[in-house]
Structure 1
Amino acid sequence: MVKQKSGLIVNLSFFGGQRYFNNVAYGVCKATVDRMSKDMANELKAYGVTVVSLYPGNVSTEGMVELAKYNKAVDLTKMESPQFVGRCIAALAEDEQRIRETGEILITAELAGQYGFTDIDGSQPESLRALLWEV
């Protein structure tokens, strides 16, 4: 990427990097991903490489689908699909002005609104920013 003077690095994180969520180890891990993204962005911006930390909402992974079988509190209908996260990354990759986002924390649901796409079922997932980030 440095040699070609362009590129996109997306590190997946979550709101636990900003405030307490689950446990200490989880929060430290997510905060580290966010800090690493910010520092990488600082070092790679001069080479045209964009680095972001991406916060999906709750994602309906195989593990969450399995958990929902036993835990009625897990609502798969309000979750993002893994493909939705991929659509976010694809939209960023196609954006020729993506360098303006370098070093930022981006939220999948907000990127969908910005770039005008939906999840695979046509839904527009809600941003978890108000629930998990702002105190």
Structure 2
Amino acid sequence: MGLLEGKVALVTGASRGVGKGIALGLAEQGATVYVTGRTESAGAHPTPLPGTVQETAEEVTAVGGRGVAIACDHRDDEQTRQAVRQVVTDAGRLDVLVNNVWGGYEYFWDGTPFWEEAGFWTQPIERWDSAFQAGVRAHYVTSVAAVPTMVAQRSGLIVNVSSEGAEKTDTGVAYGAAKAATDHMVACMAHELRDHGVTAVSLYPGLVRTESVLRAAEYFDLTDSESPQFVGRGVAALAADPEVIHLTGQVVRSAQLARRYNFSDPNPR
């Protein structure tokens, strides 16, 4: 029996990449995992990358969990609220919320030569809007919708997927500001949720071998990179830790979680 048997999770932005890896990591421990994404059918991707939300749900079930796909564009607040309502109505509980969905990466696939956006003053304002609407705002709205159930249970874990870009100055103005905003949002949420038994953390993966990174592998040193499912095992370990409240409000890194909880990468380099 998995450590998360009977637990229910919602992972946003899970058609591929880190979100998919997290869903699979939770599924390995027997969780029921609801996954959201915009891509519903192969060949109809918002991005030129493989993966659909239904495929992720099927893989979740295949590795030992129960996967449920929810088509959702988290730029639309009502779609976000409806996704959370579906989880709570179907499952009657919500133990883990992983806010992974993000925006602002459009320049990777909209045909813009990267050198034409070498400074924030050369970028369309939409890059900022996307990072904050499809990223920070989506994390906030999903949490607002999910927290009443967790408070009523007096238990729950919220993980906002962030990055070291929040602490650096060379990752782009919009990206860095948005990641810093989501980190501070977690700290503030943790302050308000602690007395209700609900934990909130920011998660920094390392360099993850997502479909997007592998597509541009020639530009990366993948020597110390992580598989998406390695990140997922970190989230699963947090979700299974009965003392996880001691980490609330903090930034946790996937490599540190591996040492803390003694797990390994299922797909090492």
Q: Does 1:103 align with 2:249?
A: yes
Give the aligned residue type for 1:25: A
Max Rg structure: 2
Q: Distance in 2 between matches of 1:27 and 1:77?
A: 24
Correspondence for 1:62:
211
Q: Residue 252 of structure 2: SS of its match in structure 1? A: strand
- Distance of 2:214 and 2:168 partners within structure 1: 26
- TM-score normalised according to structure 2 size: 0.43
Which consecutive unaligned segments of at least 5 residues does structure 1 have? 124-135
Conserved in 2, the CA contact under 8 Å of 1:57 and 1:109?
Answer: yes
Count of residues paired in the alignment: 120
Question: 1:48: Cα distance to partner?
Answer: 0.4
Q: Measure, in 2, the Cα distance between the counterparts of 1:122 and 1:116.
A: 15
Query: What is the rounded CA distance, in whole Å, between the counterparts of 1:21 and 1:108 in structure 2?
Result: 22
CA contact (8 A) 2:227 2:268 kept: no
CA distances 1:16-68 after superposition (whole Å, capped 9, x unpaired): 11121321111101101100100110111111000000000010000001011
**Matches of 1:115 and 1:21, distance apart in 2:** 31
| Pairing partner for 2:258 from 102, 109, 112 | 112
* Residues 108-117 or 74-83, more deviating: 74-83
Tell me: higher relative CO, structure 1 or 2? Use CA pairs within 8 A at least 6 residues apart.
1
- Tell me the secondary structure at the aligned position of residue 78 of structure 1: coil
Secondary structure, in 3 states, of the residue corresponding to 1:2? helix
Whether contact under 8 Å (2:229, 2:266) holds in the other structure is: yes
Give 2:265's aligned amino acid. D
Task: Give the secondary structure class of the aligned counterpart of 1:76.
Answer: coil
Moved over 4 A (4+): none
1:29 equivalent in structure 2: 178
CA RMSD of aligned residues (A): 1.3
Say if 1:15 and 1:21, in contact at 8 Å, map to a contact too.
no
Structure 2 gaps, min length 5: 1-149
* Paired amino acid for 1:107: R
**CA distance in 2 between partners of 1:95 and 1:26 (Å):** 31
Q: CA deviation at 1:79?
A: 1.1
